[in-house]
Chains A and B, each alone.
Chain A
């Protein structure tokens, strides 16, 4: 029988439930996908900062293309890779808005590299959530710029050959070299402890914007169980054992005051 129909016995209080900023729509992600966790963390951050009325998200192209369905906040859908350019326009036109983009590695690190680098270099005052799952998810698991050396995808079935296709692009390290950004960090969401740390980073990135500090980017190393052709539990393990070897966690740039 459905547990939802079970009455909660007397004396029990709710300690965890869906954040208000998340809508009732079901996620369209595959089972076990980290997008869902990251989406919830953003909604919790918006709730905690009380910015639901003035938050505007910029949705990418990729698995998160339906992002606007999942939130009770306003959204703009950007062309592929151009989320940072759209966010620049939004934020400059209405500085009172809290603008964030949510982009995958195909969006931010491939087709949208130029927009991202220049928005960071200009120090635009918005927040970027960058989900790095080392593969193109929505289109069927092709090699991404962030695919690990030797990692198999449908377009490199023998594993990524760095002599032919180059090395994985370390976007956060690259942007941390610039003078524009105030906060660049890399986080993961494969266990409860790291989920809490990622949430703190997202909160800090939103606070930076609310205080007018400038460009903040939170990279989150995620999985893609479907296209890794693994179970969700195995894909979680892959993040720890493989992805984090190449993409170590931590703050890459924190500019105070």
Chain B
């Protein structure tokens, strides 16, 4: 099973919520924490469900999301 990890740049996030809305598995949610600009930043609330599909990152208007995916055992690391 695919396993992913999303890293959100807190200072870039403007709390628009589009990533939360777009995630097909409900991985993301508002953290309730505020960055230095005063935005309620998004975070992984159900990290175990993330597949690393990067739909959230595709739709992030502030390009604040980096996506990582667990390589299956034995697979070569992507160049």
Are A and B genuine complex partners?
yes
| CB-CB under 8 A for A16 and B66, given A6-B7, A29-B61, A32-B16 | yes
Chain A residues in 8 Å Cβ range of B15: 31
Say yes or no: A32 contacts B18, CB within 8 Å: yes
Q: Does A37 contact B (CB under 8 A)?
A: yes
- Interface of chain A, helix or strand or loop or mixed? loop
Chain A residues in 8 Å Cβ range of B7: 3-4, 6, 8
Total inter-chain residue pairs, C-beta < 8 Å: 100
Residue in chain B with minimal CB distance to A196: B58
Say yes or no: A14 contacts B17, CB within 8 Å: no
Q: Does B46 contact A (CB under 8 A)?
A: no
Q: Does A191 contact B (CB under 8 A)?
A: yes
Smallest beta-carbon distance A64→chain B, Å: 13
| CB-CB under 8 A for A13 and B69, given A8-B7, A32-B18, A233-B17 | yes
Q: Does B27 contact A (CB under 8 A)?
A: no
B39-79, CB under 8 A of A: which get 1 and which 0? 10001100000001011011111110111111100000110
Q: Does A213 contact B (CB under 8 A)?
A: no
Chain B residues in 8 Å Cβ range of A27: 12, 61-63
Total contacting residues, chain A, CB less than 8 A: 37
Say yes or no: B11 contacts A12, CB within 8 Å: no
Among B12, B44, B58, B61, the residue within 8 A (CB) of A32 is B61
Residue in chain A with minimal CB distance to B40: A31
Chain A residues in 8 Å Cβ range of B55: 192
Where the two chains meet, the residues of B that have a C-beta atom closer than 8 Å to any C-beta of A are 4-5, 7-12, 14-18, 21-22, 39, 43-44, 52, 54-55, 57-63, 65-71, 77-78
Q: Does A195 contact B (CB under 8 A)?
A: yes
Chain B residues in 8 Å Cβ range of A15: 4, 52, 54, 67-69, 78
Say yes or no: A26 contacts B5, CB within 8 Å: no
Residue in chain A with minimal CB distance to B41: A3
Chain A residues in 8 Å Cβ range of B61: 27, 29, 31-37, 232
Chain A residues in 8 Å Cβ range of B43: 3
A1-29, CB under 8 A of B: which get 1 and which 0? 01110101101111111100010001101
